[in-house]
Each structure stands twice: as C-alpha cells, then as structure tokens.
Structure 1
C-alpha cells in the first residue's frame, strides 16, 4: 500500500491533508478510471461489502457500479459526497472533520444545500500531481470511515501502477 494511504480511525486534519497530498496521480484517463473502479469492486467483494462506486473526472462519470444489496439511497449519498469534493476540493471525510473541529456541522452551514452536499467519508479528490482537481472517486454503502478507506486503498493501488 502506498505511504499515506492507510489512515488511523482518529486521523487528524493534518493526516487527512497529507493523505490527499500523497495520493495525487501523475496522469489519469478513461482507462485509469476503469482500473480504479474495478479495483474498488474487487476490494468490496473481498470484504463482502455492498457498495455503489463512481469515478467522476473531467466533468463526466467514467465508471459507475451498484453492487447487489445497494439502494437508491446509497446512490443519493454518493452524489452528495461527490458534489462536496468537487465544490470544496477536499475529501468528504476531511470536510466533516474540519467543521466538527470548528464546533459546527457542515450540512447546517447557511451556504450549504444539504440535499446536494454532505460531509460524510467516502469521496476522495482525484488530483493530478501536476496540479489541479480533476474529479472524485466515491464509495457509498459502508460506515463513512470504511468508505473513505476503501476509496484510498484502491487509489493507492492504482497510483502504485502509474509510477
């Protein structure tokens, strides 16, 4: 596993930011999106988990899969998590932890439409090491920390093949 991909359950904001820095990609295209999505599916199957998976990059969905046992509710959570990452440029777990550290709830902020955005772990920014947010990898269906870790584990595996 790539350094920085694993995360302790009580990770600090600094650790989450470091993880975002560590998991930047040298390049990313449609084939990489397919690889990443398939890696996520395999990891979920190994854990006997039912999740929905989405790879969103360059303004479009490049991979989408709903495993048996998921529901439309999981897809709605996925969309809200992804929207948060694309708007704010940080993992959905980081956004939740950041606002909790300030004594507030992300979804209750006056500029946040909670029907479109949420700060629950499971969506992680796809960022090129040359700079720039290009999309998000998102998982929904498990507890938020497990969703986050699954996304990061798959991203670290993909990154190892690209270096």
Structure 2
C-alpha cells in the first residue's frame, strides 16, 4: 500500500493554488521551457522537458543522457494532468491518502504514469491549458524541477507586469 504524508499533501495542494498563470501562449511555453532546460543543463540532469497542450507539443528538449523510454513517461504523466487537472505528484499523494495504488485499476501504465514530474499550467479564469513535464530523475526531483521553473517564470512575469511591461 502506498505511503501517505499529510504534510506533503498539504504542500502539493498549496502549489496547485499558487501556480496560476495570468495567460499562457506559445511564447510563454518557449520561455518557460528554456528556463527549465537551462537549470537542468547546469545541473547536468539527463532529462526530457516537455510542454504540451492536448495533441500539440509546444516545447521539447531531450538532454544528454536521456533515454527513449522517457517518451512513454512524458506522455503518461501529461495524460494524468489532463485527466485529473492536477500535478502527477498531487494525484499520487491523493491516491495514497485513500490507500489506493495507482498502478492497479483505472490509470493503467503506460497510458497514465502516476509519478511526480508533470504539473498543469493553470490560467486564471480559464483552467488547465497545458502540462509541463520532466522525466529522467526521481519523481520528487522531476516535480521540483518543474515547480521551481514555474515559480521563477511567474515571478519574472509578475515583475515585468509591475514594471509596466507585459513580461514577454
């Protein structure tokens, strides 16, 4: 049975409410993807970074050491985000809180990959418009790389808005 951590669940729920974009277009996807890629390159992470809408990849980078198998994980993680409107880490923790094993039942792998590393792009007043996914590290590390990149990007956009620029 999966382990449940109430503090982790609260942290992930708070992230979901915090990580809300004022808008998100192709240019935002490019800039956010480049930001996460730069961080991963500096740390020499062997990851794939993917930002997609249903049916359309907006950004993709496969860094040195990444493997073809990561494509299945990227697809499966992003499918969870689009089905559940929540990060894969949050979905996994919610299931653990209910004593459910995500590998058994209604979210079959590889169609769905309930492992940290995919986070929804939620636009204020709109909802989930994209998924940002990293694959190649441990689940918590994949998740943290995405969340840290999204926070930094949102801080940058907010700073540009405060300066009277549109952040783009």
Q: TM-score, normalised by structure 1?
A: 0.89
Quote the RMSD (CA, aligned, Å): 1.6
CA offset at residue 11 of structure 1?
A: 4.3
**Aligned residue pairs, count:** 154
Match of 2:74 in 1: 78
Match of 2:146 in 1: 151
Q: Which has the higher contact order (CA 8 A, sep 6+)?
A: 1
- How many Å separate the matches in 2 of 1:46 and 1:130? 35
CA offset at residue 58 of structure 1?
A: 6.0
Match of 1:47 in 2: 43
Is 1:125 equivalent to 2:120 in the alignment? Answer: yes
CA offset at residue 100 of structure 1?
A: 1.3
Runs of 4+ in 1 over 6 A off after TM superposition: none
CA offset at residue 12 of structure 1?
A: 2.4
Q: Deviations over 1:88-125 (max 9, x none)?
A: 1110011111111111211212x222220021000001
Match of 1:92 in 2: 88
Structure 2 spans left out of the alignment, 5+ residues: 159-168
TM-aligned CA distance change 1:55 to 1:96, over 3 Å: same
Structure 1 spans left out of the alignment, 5+ residues: 1-8
- How many Å separate the matches in 1 of 2:155 and 2:56? 24
Match of 2:25 in 1: 29
Q: TM-score, normalised by structure 2?
A: 0.86
CA offset at residue 59 of structure 1?
A: 4.3
CA offset at residue 131 of structure 1?
A: 3.3
CA offset at residue 138 of structure 1?
A: 0.2
Which of 97, 101, 108 is equivalent to 2:97?
Answer: 101
Is 1:15 equivalent to 2:24 in the alignment? Answer: no
TM-aligned CA distance change 1:10 to 1:52, over 3 Å: farther
